[in-house]
A and B are shown apart, each in its own frame.
Chain A
Amino acid sequence: MIAPKRLSRSLQSVTQCTNHERQNFLQSTRRTLSSTIHVNASVESASTTSSQPPPPPASPVRLEDASSLNPENVFTRREERKLVRTQKINPVSSRRRRAALQSTDSVPFEQLPYQCFQEARKILIADRAEKIKQIEAQRERIARLKENGNMNETAKKQKLDSMNRHLAELKIWADINDPIVKKTFEDGKGDLNKPIYRFLADRKWRSYARKLLVQRITQMNVIPDILPHISDFPTASVDLSFARHDVQPGAFVLSEISEKYCKLNVQVYDKGERMVTIVVVNPDVPNVEKDGFDYRCHFLAANVPVNPTSGSIPFSFLRSLDSEGGQDGQVETPQIILPYLPSYAQKGAPYQRMTVFVLQQPEGVTLDVADIATRAKRESFILRSFIDRHRLTPIGVNMWRTKWDESTAGVMERAGIEGSDVEFKRKKIEPLPYKKLDGERYR
């Protein structure tokens, strides 16, 4: 009985479903699975995968062994009906899928025989080809513009910038509709050297984590206490951790945990390697004389290379001033200007915010660490001035909070900080004397 035409066109073997053709098909499939042909299907299968159910027995007149019908395997109407009749169970998923799974263990995603899906793929492939052509045309235009010597320099630069931006957009549009790209990214296997994966990672970060971070930074008044408001800040994600303790932005961290093994994971979403400066600032150092708070710098390091694929910066791996001798005799620039001072808050003082800023150095600029180290001081460290002096760009931020706990005294003593026995107390303010006003107004 010839099956009607409405069955899938992509699997030719399913549409013409005579006994003879089915045997041919089965024999061909059996050849892929195993070399020997088994008479009894119930015997152990010699197929390549042990999970594959044994193929039905080969014979010119098919003896349908009802128990051999597997709900995951049946793909002819006759076998399906027999399965339902004898074993009282329905076949597992669509007939097309069951038929497709006969030939291979697993069909690659792009070849899944679903008609609508394959038509959609055709459309997307055609669109991608168009975008590739547009990318090439744009590249040629940019090359021609660069060679053009008749144009005003600023106008030329502006035009080149916008053309490059359009080129980057085209690159994203070419790959954004690809389900394999989406799958790879979702599995965490995306190569961040490619623009599409950087784009997807950036979009994911901005959808939640960045919003949370900006909320915390704003609520804790890190902006504008330490830095003024900057549009589109932060642009790089900074994950903070202390030796396996991951810190949520703004969370309270015990002094003994924040004492050692501070590590940043900086993820930049634009291409290229750049040098960054890392600053840890405490804006809440109590100052009794002025009845206010001062800034203190807990860590300052420069010339740290960061690119989209590598952003893990453990503080202990950075080079300090006195570390000499790079590998293979090359002198490596020192990085740490002020070594890490653990965060501490004395008893009675309110909680103190510890903020980490990641600042991008200008293109190709290496800061002279030794020179800065002669001038840099921890107390009254103003980050705004530091940024202006060295022309840095803030790209990332994170923060945690400290308060007095049982381990703070120990941390302070180990770090050689005086004042672990100091307790702050609130100054009692005498209320103004109650002055009774004339009664006329309050009649």
Chain B
Amino acid sequence: MVCTRSKERDRRCKLKVTSTEKKTLIAQQRGDSGAAAVLGMSCRERYLDRDARRHHRRLQRRDDLEDGHTHDNMKPPSTALLRAFSPLWRTNAIPFTARGCLAQQQSSFSTTEQRMARDKGKPKTDMRITLIRYHLKHPLTPRPLRFSRNRALRHWTIHRAWRLYQSKLRLSRQLELERQYNSMASACEALRLIDSHGLTAEDRSKLGEPEVSEGGKDVGRLYRIAMRKDQIWDGVPIEYARIQTESPPRDGWNHSWTR
């Protein structure tokens, strides 16, 4: 969503800007990508109280005026004018499935347990820990394996051997494919240098035949025929057919379906 009005004009005309637009504006001034800013700002802003948010935005406006020069911290230059003059400025919207990737950290970094004043100093319960302990200690959860030293070493040995075996297998498959490809490539190369009698230039000179230039229509004719791609899609591979599935349907969801 592109907003072409500049911040200065906004303030002077006192135009009403919607909250999502506001967030995009602020974020774009910061140089963030729009959608990330929308999501990131909404998360971050939620944790700032109203005054802090206002102060935040005031700083942003001041940065704009001074072309991004502040004494406290180095900010990237404001993109307000860029936005105004570049019609191709597009926010990189990320799909909703990826919004977890940009989530801000919501728990404190310190491992010291926090105590709540309203609970008279009782520690703050972390739901994540509660859930983990619940699921680990549930009577229906299978108990964790505990290995003795030798058992653990045997397990490690078997694991290493399996991984080694798998990587060797993968490597051998890869080498086999490479070998096949190289074989095909060298066959094509040999074909390219052969004329209609099956002789390369070297063979011709050995046999005393007249020299033919490599660019002649005889030399490599079969190679050129083999490299043609015009009839490749005549027999479309069956894999391109759509497999019957229950979902997702081809026609999508019919929102106006009635009985």
Task: List residues of chain A with CB under 8 Å of any chain B CB.
Answer: 109, 112, 114, 116-117, 119-121, 123-124, 127, 177, 179, 182-183
Residues of A within 8 A of B53 (CB): none
B153 touches A120 (CB 8 A): no
Residue of A nearest to B165 (CB): A123
Q: Please measure, in the bound complex, the distance between the C-alpha atom of A360 and the C-alpha atom of B158, giving whole angstroms.
A: 42
The 4 A-B residue pairs with the shortest CB-CB distance, nearest first, are A120-B161, A120-B158, A123-B161, A117-B154
Known: A117-B157, A117-B158, A177-B160. 18 other contacts (CB 8 A): A109-B150, A112-B150, A112-B154, A114-B154, A119-B161, A120-B161, A123-B161, A124-B157, A124-B160, A124-B161, A127-B164, A177-B157, A177-B161, A179-B153, A182-B153, A182-B156, A183-B149, A183-B153
Q: Is B162 an interface residue (CB 8 A)?
A: yes
Residues of B within 8 A of A114 (CB): 154
Residues of B within 8 A of A121 (CB): 157, 161
Q: A120-B160, A124-B160 are in contact. Are A179 and B165 (CB under 8 A)?
A: no
B150 touches A120 (CB 8 A): no
Q: Please measure, in the bound complex, the distance between the C-alpha atom of A116 and the C-alpha atom of B164, giving whole angstroms.
A: 15
Q: Which of A114, A117, A120, A123 has the most CB of B within 10 A?
A: A120
Q: Please measure, in the bound complex, the distance between the C-alpha atom of A91 and the C-alpha atom of B189, giving whole angstroms.
A: 71
B157 touches A179 (CB 8 A): yes
Can you give 5 contacting A-B residue pairs, CB < 8 Å? A117-B154, A120-B158, A120-B162, A121-B161, A124-B157
Q: Please measure, in the bound complex, the distance between the C-alpha atom of A183 and the C-alpha atom of B152, giving whole angstroms.
A: 11
Residues of A within 8 A of B162 (CB): 120
Residue of B nearest to A123 (CB): B161
Residues of A within 8 A of B153 (CB): 109, 179, 182-183
Q: Please measure, in the bound complex, the distance between the C-alpha atom of A116 and the C-alpha atom of B165, giving whole angstroms.
A: 14
Residues of A within 8 A of B154 (CB): 112, 114, 117, 179
B150 touches A124 (CB 8 A): no
Residues 152 to 193 of chain B near chain A (Cβ within 8 Å): 153-154, 156-158, 160-162, 164-165
Residue of A nearest to B154 (CB): A117
Q: Please measure, in the bound complex, the distance between the C-alpha atom of A119 and the C-alpha atom of B154, giving whole angstroms.
A: 11
Residue of A nearest to B164 (CB): A127
Interface size on B, residues (CB 8 A): 12
A-B interface contact total, Cβ < 8 Å: 37
Task: List residues of chain B with CB under 8 Å of any chain A CB.
Answer: 149-150, 153-154, 156-158, 160-162, 164-165
Q: Please measure, in the bound complex, the distance between the C-alpha atom of A120 and the C-alpha atom of B159, giving whole angstroms.
A: 8
Q: Which of B149, B158, B164 has the most CB of A within 10 A?
A: B158
Residue of A nearest to B156 (CB): A179
Q: Please measure, in the bound complex, the distance between the C-alpha atom of A183 and the C-alpha atom of B156, giving whole angstroms.
A: 11
Residues of B within 8 A of A120 (CB): 157-158, 160-162
Measured CB to CB, the closest approach of chain B to A196, in angstroms, equals: 14
Residue of B nearest to A125 (CB): B161
Measured CB to CB, the closest approach of chain A to B17, in angstroms, equals: 25
Residue of B nearest to A109 (CB): B150
B156 touches A124 (CB 8 A): no
Q: Please measure, in the bound complex, the distance between the C-alpha atom of A289 and the C-alpha atom of B88, giving whole angstroms.
A: 60
Measured CB to CB, the closest approach of chain B to A388, in angstroms, equals: 32
Q: Please measure, in the bound complex, the distance between the C-alpha atom of A327 and the C-alpha atom of B158, giving whole angstroms.
A: 54
Measured CB to CB, the closest approach of chain B to A403, in angstroms, equals: 24
Residue of B nearest to A116 (CB): B158
Q: Please measure, in the bound complex, the distance between the C-alpha atom of A179 and the C-alpha atom of B155, giving whole angstroms.
A: 10
Q: Which of A116, A179, A183 has the most CB of B within 10 A?
A: A179
Q: Please measure, in the bound complex, the distance between the C-alpha atom of A179 and the C-alpha atom of B160, giving whole angstroms.
A: 10
Q: Please measure, in the bound complex, the distance between the C-alpha atom of A237 and the C-alpha atom of B153, giving whole angstroms.
A: 28
Q: Please measure, in the bound complex, the distance between the C-alpha atom of A191 and the C-alpha atom of B10, giving whole angstroms.
A: 74
Measured CB to CB, the closest approach of chain A to B164, in angstroms, equals: 6
Measured CB to CB, the closest approach of chain A to B145, in angstroms, equals: 15
Residues of B within 8 A of A183 (CB): 149, 153
Residues of B within 8 A of A117 (CB): 154, 157-158
Residues of A within 8 A of B164 (CB): 123-124, 127, 177
Q: Please measure, in the bound complex, the distance between the C-alpha atom of A26 and the C-alpha atom of B237, giving whole angstroms.
A: 68
Residues of A within 8 A of B149 (CB): 183
Q: Please measure, in the bound complex, the distance between the C-alpha atom of A179 and the C-alpha atom of B151, giving whole angstroms.
A: 11
Residues of A within 8 A of B165 (CB): 123
Q: Please measure, in the bound complex, the distance between the C-alpha atom of A116 and the C-alpha atom of B154, giving whole angstroms.
A: 9
Q: Please measure, in the bound complex, the distance between the C-alpha atom of A183 and the C-alpha atom of B157, giving whole angstroms.
A: 11
Q: Please measure, in the bound complex, the distance between the C-alpha atom of A86 and the C-alpha atom of B161, giving whole angstroms.
A: 43
Q: Please measure, in the bound complex, the distance between the C-alpha atom of A120 and the C-alpha atom of B153, giving whole angstroms.
A: 12
Q: Please measure, in the bound complex, the distance between the C-alpha atom of A127 and the C-alpha atom of B164, giving whole angstroms.
A: 9
Q: Please measure, in the bound complex, the distance between the C-alpha atom of A123 and the C-alpha atom of B153, giving whole angstroms.
A: 16
Q: Please measure, in the bound complex, the distance between the C-alpha atom of A114 and the C-alpha atom of B157, giving whole angstroms.
A: 12
Residue of A nearest to B162 (CB): A120
Residues of B within 8 A of A119 (CB): 161
